[in-house]
Copies of this chain bind each other. A is one copy, B any other.
Amino acid sequence: MTSSLNGINVAALTQFAEGIRQNPSNAEAKFEVHTRWDGQTRSVATVKSYGLRGQSHARDFTIVADEPPELLGENSAPNPQELLMAALNACMTVGYVATAAGMGVTVRSLEIDTTGALDLRGFLGLDNGVNPGYDEIQYTVHIDADGTAEQMEKIHQEVMRTSPNFANFARAIRMVPKLVVNGK
């Protein structure tokens, strides 16, 4: 028996899950991003570490964002809305292929098209009754795989039930801000 399917090491995933089942205090994954304004509408985010089971793991990634010219930027990078949707799709992608692997289903290809519309009266502060964010996000998952229709529907439901970023879109998150002005 091979322990890998869809590139996912199923034996390692099962062992990882079993370790957390036996000791739920190991279940925390902590993510941290530091962002620096780079002038105009451009920002550079750096990722230096993340925490898993209380242990810090070094990372070294940069994520640049900017706005297109119509939204007052220089178009040097994807904008915050595109990064947000990419984050959703990336998370669901992992969910589909890992869930399928766990069920013995081979995924041949997977693509996700995601779209959402903002009402800019919210961002521009023109109307307090307008949500500045998305009321609704539409996405289509194109998956080629060898599962039965029932298995594919089960995988689809499982991703909606367990994907962290699906939950982050579908649920309200408590925001805890702190403002430091001129070092104080």
Contact = CB atoms under 8 A, between A and B. Distances in A.
B140 A180 contact: yes
Nearest to A99: B125
A142 B109 CA distance: 43
Contacts of A168: 84, 133-134, 169
Chain A interface, DSSP helix/strand/loop, else mixed: mixed
Specify how many copies of this chain sit in the oligomer.
2
Contact of A164 (B59, B81, B91, B93): B81
Contacts of A121: 20-21, 24, 27
Contacts of A132: 161-164, 166-167
Contact of A72 (B9, B70, B75, B176): B9
A79 B45 CA distance: 13
A120 to B, nearest CB: 5
B28 A50 contact: no
A2 interface: no
Interface of A: 6-9, 12-13, 16-17, 20-21, 24, 27-37, 39-41, 43, 45, 47, 50-52, 57, 59, 61, 63, 65, 67-68, 70-72, 75, 77-91, 93-98, 107, 109-126, 128, 130-145, 147, 149, 152-153, 156, 158, 160-183
